[in-house]
Amino acid sequence: MRKHFKDQCFETIQGLEELHSEIEKGISTGSFAQVAELLELCQQAAIGIGTLIEKSEGEGTEAVSQLEKYCDYTYELHQQVLDEPAVQVNTNKAMKNLRTFIQKTVNELNNTIPTTKEIVFLPYKAAMWDSLETVWKKFDEDPNCTALVLPIPYFDKNPDGSFARMYYEKDQFPENVPTYSFEAYDFEGRHPDAIYIHNPYDDMNYVTSIEPFFYSENLKKYTDQLVYIPYFVLWGLEPGQPCPLERARDYALTKGVINADRVILQSEEVKVAYVQALTEYFGEETRLHWEAKIEGTGSPKIEKVKTLRKEDYSIPDTWKNIIAKLDGTSKKVIFYNTSLKAFLADTNAMLHKIQRTLQFFEEEKDEVVLWWRPHPLFKSTVSSMHPEAWEVYSALVADYIKKGWGIYDDSPDLDRAIAYSDAYYGDGSSVVELYTHTGKPVMIQNTSV
């Protein structure tokens, strides 16, 4: 039985115990009309408990059998206090029977009905699923847990803040990850024990937005625990060295972090920076609150990347042909990553840098393959914020794909690119932090050369 519903049962049972005490007082003082009303409330509460149990466990449980006996007895006692003189109501016997049936119900709930959990994951971009995947897998392997992946829609935004095109990537997740319709899930009725999210922005993002129902401030109504894990990792941090406050501040002061009951970050050093940023903003008196709910236990993205193997992924035959040399051996594969931050910081310089990079690797195509993979939100962001630059960029991409000497990867699967490549080249980003954990070479591009 779901923990949430079992907790509801115990909460109702606690209320029954309080009613029993009032019934005992009423019988002893001869307030039989009041006692009759209290017994009716007891019967209604017991029926409610039984309904919850049958909804979860089906019919025929001993717990429901005890509740049925309890209801039969409350009815008999109800008739007795109204129809017979007070002297004939045995208070001790009445209270012992009421409490015995309920105690047997409690014993059944504790000892014979296992406690289960339902955990819901709400990714919005399939390319960012690796920030939640290892957590989902652990819950999915737990026989006492139901772990559901419900991809949610997201939208581009118009300059005025209104929603434009909608994206829904339910069918783009790995084959071993079953996904379910968010529309068919009753958040209020099922009340999952925990909800995991990886988008912290709610309405704070000027370029894209998830469906507003899934903003963190709303999700808190429907779960006992809202958990936020960033879809990114901060890069360029030396192990054991403090994370600069300015690196963490913008990420920490987001609604997902503020509203979540738990926040899981990549390291203790990043946690310290988040806590400091939040404390400075909300006041020193809030420090213990942030300390308690923010954890620096590690990013699932890093946990997964350490286990990547080329053999676990497949690629199209056209890509295989690009990678293969004429003698049957394989060319070196360079993962080329272009980030949003670098492109937006100096768009013209980045466009020229991409052109020079493509020219260089085209000349080396007999020995080296470029595996170009831009940021997953590249198109929606750049086309919205810099439409002229998007036209130039799109022309570069089209020409690159047409020539066919390299790979252009706009799929959601970052891990495949990491697994297949022999080295990293490109912008500094969270991908760099992941790539360093593979032990393979990393080179950061310089837009000025």
pLDDT, tens digit, 9 for 90 and up, residues 278-288: 999 999 999 99
pLDDT-based confidence at residue 448 (cuts at 50, 70, 90):
confident
User: What pLDDT is recorded for position 29?
Assistant: 86
Strand partners, 443: 425
- Mean pLDDT throughout 192-198? 97
Q: What is the mean pLDDT of the chain?
A: 93
Place of tokens 């203790």: 268
Pairing status of strand 262-264 against strand 332-338: unpaired
**pLDDT tens per residue, range 22-32:** 999 998 888 88
Query: What is the distance between the alpha carbons of residues 167 and 164, in angstroms, rounded to a whole number?
Result: 10
Distance of CA 212 to the CA centre of its chain: 16
Helix (H) or strand (E) holding 194: strand 194-197
Residue 370 has a CB neighbour count (10 Å cut-off) of: 25
pLDDT tens string 249-294? 999 999 999 999 999 999 999 999 999 999 999 999 999 999 999 9
CB 106 within 8 Å of CB 54: no
| CA atoms of 402 and 320, how far apart (whole Å) | 17
Residues 310-331: pLDDT tens digits?
Answer: 998 999 999 999 999 988 899 9
Q: How far apart are CA 199 and CA 176, in angstroms?
A: 23
Return the pLDDT at 391: 93
Band of the pLDDT at 84, cuts 50, 70, 90? low
Segment 217-226 mean pLDDT: 96
Question: What would the two tokens of residue 41 be?
Answer: 């409330």
Tens digit of pLDDT for each residue in 379-396?
A: 888 888 888 999 999 999
- With 0.85 as the threshold, say if the pTM is over it: no
Sign of CA dihedral 77, 78, 84, 89: positive
Q: Give 168-181 pLDDT, tens digit per residue.
A: 999 999 989 999 99
Place of tokens 């129809």: 83
Q: Name the DSSP class of 2.
A: B
DSSP state of 200: -
- The percentage of the chain sitting over the pLDDT mark of 90, rounded to a whole number, equals 78
Question: Which is higher by pLDDT, 88 or 332?
Answer: 332
Q: Which two tokens stand for residue 306?
A: 């350490």
| Amino acid identity at 362 | E
Query: CB-based contacts of 337: which residues, under 8 Å, 6+ apart?
Result: 373, 374, 375, 424, 425, 426, 427, 429, 431, 432
Spatial separation of the C-alpha atoms in residues 32 and 23, rounded to whole Å: 9
Question: What does the pLDDT look like over 32-54, one tens digit per residue?
Answer: 899 999 999 999 999 999 999 99
Q: For residue 444, what is the enclosing H or E element?
A: strand 442-444
CA distance 149 to 196: 10
Identify the pLDDT of residue 85: 55
pLDDT at 63: 96
Alpha carbon distances (Å) from 210 to 75, 131, 164, 207, 341 = 53, 17, 12, 11, 20
Q: Is-contact 322 407, C-beta < 8 A?
A: yes
- What is the identity of the amino acid at 159? P
In this predicted structure, the answer to whether residue 398 has a pLDDT above a threshold of 70 is yes
